[in-house]
């Protein structure tokens, strides 16, 4: 909600304010779009298009809502539009959409506290070493599941379990952060 | 992965990509697009106002009471909301499902319904920010109308927000003034192109109608503009090789024939190209004759070619992000770079959401070469396409660094999607035509599939004294850049027109194969103001005529007697006598020197043709091969004129006509035909 204050209402849309909002939200929206499309290039296009649509329709933006969830609504519509035109369909059911939205909303609350990515870095440091190294190998060194498992000398199943635990732990940590710091 | 963890998974991936920093490329590109939006909005606003007044005035006149007028406008607006569902935010577009639950959670006391109404009221005004080209306009002149208007029309027809009729006159009269008899409107529905022309699935082709048989009594002259494009063959080849169905209108027979080089002699004398005519029996109808007219441009030794000023205009929009698009384009450019030297300069303009100069004019010396390579290496795609603004910038740059007496050319590499800004085919075509007069020619390289706007790409080169190639592989890139472009870049003659006069005592009827959208009116031949194709150094252009031999007067079809005219139709027009001549036809040519202006008079020369009564089996390899390619094209177009022709005959012709085939192009053609067995 806090970001909304930067938007002048009932006035000609302010480009600078919009740029500030875009700067604040673009990366979490990219992450959101990536969760939908599972593909980084498509998500960039979708988020770009969504910002342009938002800019065109800024006057319809309801100031009582928060910018992040409004943008995610547009991103979802852009993603559906893309899905219709694409031969490759990624099925994301409504339960998952709800989970994504719930997380994203919570993380929007971190914007004024340095943003979700800053918080994520802190949380990463709190991970136990065995989980942290799994995350490093899989996400940051961009190894495949099997390669990461080989590097860490564990079975594929163990790696999957560690990654799942790491994701759960990070999610809890971010949640705690957004609750405590708001 | 648990559903609860999918968002954190994506967050980790995003974090790994760029840690906590902003994605500056993304933001830069977004800012560019927002800038472009502002330009569009300021252009469109006046018409929005006018329309608003129009509605108000109309309502007032009808209903007299102003208040009722307002109510009427509101209802109209609600309609706009219904049909613009696909891009508006969830509180409006998703009254159901997850959108509704979100809206409930976040909506202020006004309540969801109230909000929907409130926001919907504003919708038409907002939608009018989207500019769409209006192809309904007759006469080819492009008008700009707001998408809100189009959408409302679409909804009244189908009431379906996802299937707005995108009617496009693919070959409009205004766009193809010389296309006279072959011009017609073709309406496409649901080709996957949204009214705003955003990048979508579905290649687009202009509709073509094959030339019919004509009688020399009625139409003694056949006039057309030369075409050195080759894109159609490479595109059709790609479709066949990947097992796709080839759309009829993707097949332009003259481009297929001209994809291959033919062994014609060098010109002797003052004209910059030689004219070579060969006649023999027609392979797919032995009673007919086939005439091959071949032009060969004067070779220029590579070392002697003039300095070049090349401006590459590269599409770096999101849709170019595929191995067969931008990376292939970059690799192909590296091949060209090897051919250029320190006298040549290269600059690069990119366009996506915003256009910009990626590389200022750089001479291709050692340091320059490195700079160009570095610039090429850093190319990456993202954003949507503003082709119009990009082209404007590229021409500006080419003109600024114009090399007098040299080669000045804009080379556009794209998958053909022009999304924002100057969108309509016609307005782009007009712009390119206008710029061509400044002496800067245009080459277009088409890439990829699924998004290829073949019709527009061909049209803009028709107008822009340019040529259009399709590149689907590095091998093709090499052919285009080294074999074709190096020739094409040095234009040796422009506005090249061919006119053939048939002798009615030898030719009962005739038909030009291909060149369906290259036909000119007979009077255009002598009109210096009419633009036509260009021929590059060393280039060959080939056209085939199918001829029904005999006496046109005797063969005139029987027509029922006219009721209102006293002069009954005669098989041979009264008072017209035929000159006794053994010639079957005369090939006449008109051309201008490359540096000539519009006002310069063309140079004319001609060549008479006597039919030698050869059979096709006795004809040259080039004759056999080109007729094989023509038949192949006719079969692909399901042409009624293919006679007894079939793919077996195409194979036979291609194999008998293969010759030395140093580069393997003819062998590859045989392989493709074999695939269709």
Give how far A4 is from chain B: nearest CA, Å: 13
pLDDT 10s digits, B596-642: 888 889 999 999 999 988 999 999 999 999 999 999 999 998 888 88
Q: How many CB atoms lie within 10 A of CB B414?
A: 30
Q: Say which of A69, A96, A116 has its CB closest to residue B6.
A: A96
pLDDT, residue B332, reads 85
Q: Say which of A51, A99, A135 has its CB closest to residue B12.
A: A135
Return the structure tokens found at B615: 């059979």
Contact B416, B449 (CB under 8 A): no
Q: Say which of A30, A56, A121 has its CB closest to residue B20.
A: A121
pLDDT, residue B261, reads 86
Q: What is the DSSP letter of B465?
A: T
pLDDT 10s digits, B401-412: 888 878 888 888
Each as own residue / partner, the long-range contacts of residues B673-677 (CB below 8 Å, 24 or more positions apart, any chain) are B673/B632, B673/B647, B675/B240, B675/B241, B676/B240, B676/B647, B677/B647, B677/B651
Residue ranges for chain B with pLDDT beneath 50 = 41-201, 384-385, 419-422
B343 touches chain A (CB under 8 A): no
Contact B383, B317 (CB under 8 A): yes
pLDDT, residue B432, reads 74
Interface predicted TM-score (ipTM) of this complex, two decimals: 0.93
Return the structure tokens found at B626: 């080109």
> Is A148 in a helix, a strand, or coil?
helix
For an interface test with A, which of B3, B10, B122, B164 has the most A Cβ atoms less than 10 Å from its Cβ?
B10
Residues 6+ apart with CB under 8 A from B505: B551, B552, B553, B578, B580, B581
What gap in Å lies between CA A154 and CA B370, rounded to an integer? 46
Q: Tell me, letter by letter, the H, E, C secondary structure of B489-532.
A: HCEEEEEEEEEEEECCCCEEEEEEECCCCCECCHHHHHCCCCCC
pLDDT 10s digits, A145-170: 888 888 888 998 999 999 999 999 99
pLDDT, residue B277, reads 94
B114 touches chain A (CB under 8 A): no
B104 touches chain A (CB under 8 A): no
Return the structure tokens found at B12: 């980790």
For an interface test with B, which of A53, A65, A83, A138 has the most B Cβ atoms less than 10 Å from its Cβ?
A65
Q: What is the DSSP string of B631-662?
A: HHHHHHTT-GGGTT--HHHHHHHHHHT--S-T
Give how far B521 is from chain A: nearest CA, Å: 42
Give how far B4 is from chain A: nearest CA, Å: 6
User: What is the arithmetic mean of pLDDT over A135-139?
Assistant: 91
Residue found under tokens 């029922």: B560
What gap in Å lies between CA B327 and CA B478, rounded to an integer? 14
Helix, strand, coil % in chain B, rounded to nearest 5: 40, 20, 40
Please report the sign of the dihedral spanned by the C-alpha atoms of residue B94, residue B100, residue B103, residue B107. Answer: positive
For an interface test with A, which of B89, B98, B322 has the most A Cβ atoms less than 10 Å from its Cβ?
B89
* Set of chain B residues whose Cβ sits within 8 Å of the Cβ of A65: 91, 106-107
CA–CA distance from B446 to each of A103, B260, B416, B455 (Å)?
43, 18, 7, 11
């Amino acid at each position: 909600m806090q970001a909304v204050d930067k938007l002048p209402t009932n006035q000609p849309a302010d480009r600078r304010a919009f740029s500030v909002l875009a700067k604040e939200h673009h990366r979490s929206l990219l992450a959101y779009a990536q969760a939908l499309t599972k593909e980084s290039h498509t998500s960039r296009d979708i988020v770009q298009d969504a910002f342009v649509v938002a800019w065109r329709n800024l006057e319809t933006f309801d100031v009582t809502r928060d910018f992040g969830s409004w943008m995610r609504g547009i991103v979802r519509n852009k993603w559906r539009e893309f899905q219709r035109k694409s031969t490759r369909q990624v099925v994301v059911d409504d339960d998952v959409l709800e989970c994504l939205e719930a997380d994203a909303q919570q993380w929007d609350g971190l914007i004024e506290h340095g943003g979700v990515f800053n918080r994520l870095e802190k949380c990463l440091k709190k991970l136990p070493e065995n989980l942290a190294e799994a995350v490093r190998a899989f996400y940051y060194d961009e190894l495949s599941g099997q390669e990461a498992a080989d590097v860490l000398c564990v079975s594929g199943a163990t790696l999957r379990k560690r990654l799942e635990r790491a994701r759960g732990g990070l999610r809890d940590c971010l949640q705690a952060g957004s609750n405590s710091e708001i | 992965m648990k559903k609860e963890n999918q968002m954190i998974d994506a967050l980790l991936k995003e974090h790994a990509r760029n840690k906590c920093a902003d994605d500056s490329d993304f933001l830069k590109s977004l800012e560019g697009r927002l800038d472009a939006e502002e330009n569009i909005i300021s252009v469109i606003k006046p018409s929005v106002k006018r329309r608003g007044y129009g509605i108000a005035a109309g309502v007032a006149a009808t209903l007299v009471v102003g208040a009722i007028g307002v109510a009427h406008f509101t209802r109209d607006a609600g309609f706009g909301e219904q049909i613009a569902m696909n891009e508006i935010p969830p509180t409006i577009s998703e009254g159901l499902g997850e959108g509704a639950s979100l809206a409930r959670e976040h909506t202020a006391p006004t309540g969801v319904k109230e909000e929907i109404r409130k926001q919907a009221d504003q919708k038409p005004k907002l939608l009018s920010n989207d500019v769409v080209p209006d192809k309904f306009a007759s006469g080819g002149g492009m008008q700009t109308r707001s998408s809100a208007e189009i959408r409302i029309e679409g909804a009244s027809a189908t009431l379906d927000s996802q299937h707005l009729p995108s009617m496009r006159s693919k070959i409009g009269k205004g766009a193809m003034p010389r296309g006279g008899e072959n011009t017609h409107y073709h309406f496409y529905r649901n080709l996957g192109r949204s009214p705003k022309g955003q990048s979508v699935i579905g290649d687009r082709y202009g509709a073509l109608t094959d030339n019919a048989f004509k009688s020399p009594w009625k139409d003694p002259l056949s006039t057309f503009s030369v075409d050195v494009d080759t894109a159609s063959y490479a595109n059709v080849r790609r479709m066949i090789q990947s097992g796709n169905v080839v759309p009829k209108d993707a097949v332009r027979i003259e481009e297929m024939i001209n994809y291959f080089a033919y062994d014609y002699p060098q010109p002797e004398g003052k004209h910059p190209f030689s004219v070579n005519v060969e006649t023999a029996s027609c392979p797919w109808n032995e009673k007919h004759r086939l005439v091959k007219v071949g032009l060969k441009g004067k070779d220029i030794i590579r070392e002697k070619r003039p300095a070049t000023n090349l401006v590459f205009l590269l599409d770096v929009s999101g849709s170019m992000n595929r191995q067969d698009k931008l990376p292939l384009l970059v690799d192909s450019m590296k091949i060209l770079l090897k051919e250029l030297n320190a006298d040549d300069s290269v600059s690069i303009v990119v366009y996506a959401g915003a256009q910009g100069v990626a590389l200022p004019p750089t001479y291709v010396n050692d340091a320059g070469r490195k700079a160009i390579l570095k610039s090429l290496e850093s190319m990456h795609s993202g954003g949507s396409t503003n082709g119009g603004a990009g082209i404007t910038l590229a021409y500006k740059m080419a003109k600024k660094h114009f090399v007098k007496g040299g080669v000045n050319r804009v080379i556009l590499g794209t998958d053909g999607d022009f999304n924002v800004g100057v969108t309509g085919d016609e307005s782009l075509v007009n712009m390119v035509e206008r710029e061509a007069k400044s002496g800067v020619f245009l080459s277009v390289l088409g890439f990829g599939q699924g998004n290829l706007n073949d019709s527009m790409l061909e049209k803009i080169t028709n107008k822009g004294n340019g040529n259009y190639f399709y590149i689907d592989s590095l091998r093709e890139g090499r052919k285009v850049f080294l074999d074709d472009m190096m020739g094409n870049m040095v234009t040796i003659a422009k506005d090249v027109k061919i006119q053939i006069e048939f002798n009615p005592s030898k030719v009962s009827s005739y038909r030009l194969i291909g060149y369906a959208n290259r036909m000119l009116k007979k009077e255009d031949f002598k009109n210096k103001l009419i633009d036509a194709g260009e021929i590059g150094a060393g280039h060959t252009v080939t056209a085939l005529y199918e001829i029904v031999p005999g006496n046109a007067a005797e063969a005139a079809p029987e027509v029922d007697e006219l009721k209102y005219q006293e002069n009954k139709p005669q098989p041979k027009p009264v008072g017209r006598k035929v000159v006794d001549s053994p010639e079957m036809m005369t090939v006449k040519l008109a051309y201008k020197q490359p540096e000539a202006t519009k006002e310069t008079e063309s140079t004319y020369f001609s060549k008479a043709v006597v039919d030698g009564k050869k059979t096709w089996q006795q004809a040259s390899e080039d004759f056999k091969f080109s007729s094989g390619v023509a038949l192949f094209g006719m079969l692909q177009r399901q042409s009624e004129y293919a006679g007894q022709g079939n793919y077996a005959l195409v194979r036979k012709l291609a194999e008998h006509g293969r010759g030395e085939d140093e580069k393997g192009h003819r062998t590859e053609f045989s392989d493709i035909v074999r695939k269709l067995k």
